[in-house]
Amino acid sequence: MHDNQPRTITPDTLPEVITRYLTAHRAHDTATAIAAFTREATVIDDGNTYEGNKAIEGWLGRSATEFTYTIHLANAQQTDATHYIATHHLEGNFPGGTIDLRYQFTLRGNLIERLVIEP
């Protein structure tokens, strides 16, 4: 954990790599989305851990086709120079129909090193 409390920022001040990833993910552009990650990046989503580009690429492909939904960036926060949180509101044909998910990014250089997605 970090001692720093996250502070709210405007979504348009998120680092470019996060915005690029989120835009590509929404557009189901797996090639652009995977290019935003370090080679040894980790993604944790729905209790599953995906390590490395190949595993993350597979996760991106599955998550794009499993359900149909709309996604809206509802909030953005910054904890420190390398930690950001983007909260998304999703509505769709998944169990429950609506959910707010926190996308917790850790950056290294200009790439995403770790992404944890949880309610």
Burial of 49 from C-beta contacts in 10 A (0-12 / 13-18 / 19+): exposed
Burial of 84 from C-beta contacts in 10 A (0-12 / 13-18 / 19+): buried
How far is 63 from 97, CA to CA, in rounded Å? 16
- Match 């983007």 to its residue by tokens: 86
Residue 94 has pLDDT above 90, yes or no: no
User: What was the pLDDT predicted at 1?
Assistant: 47
7-118 CATH choice from 3.10.450.50, 3.40.50.2300, 3.40.50.1370, 3.30.200.20: 3.10.450.50
User: What was the pLDDT predicted at 76?
Assistant: 97
- Spans of all domains in the chain: 7-118
Q: What are phi and psi of 22, to 5 degrees?
A: -60, -40
Residue 36 has pLDDT above 60, yes or no: yes
In the predicted model, what is the mean pLDDT of residues 39-51? 96
Residue 81 has pLDDT above 70, yes or no: yes
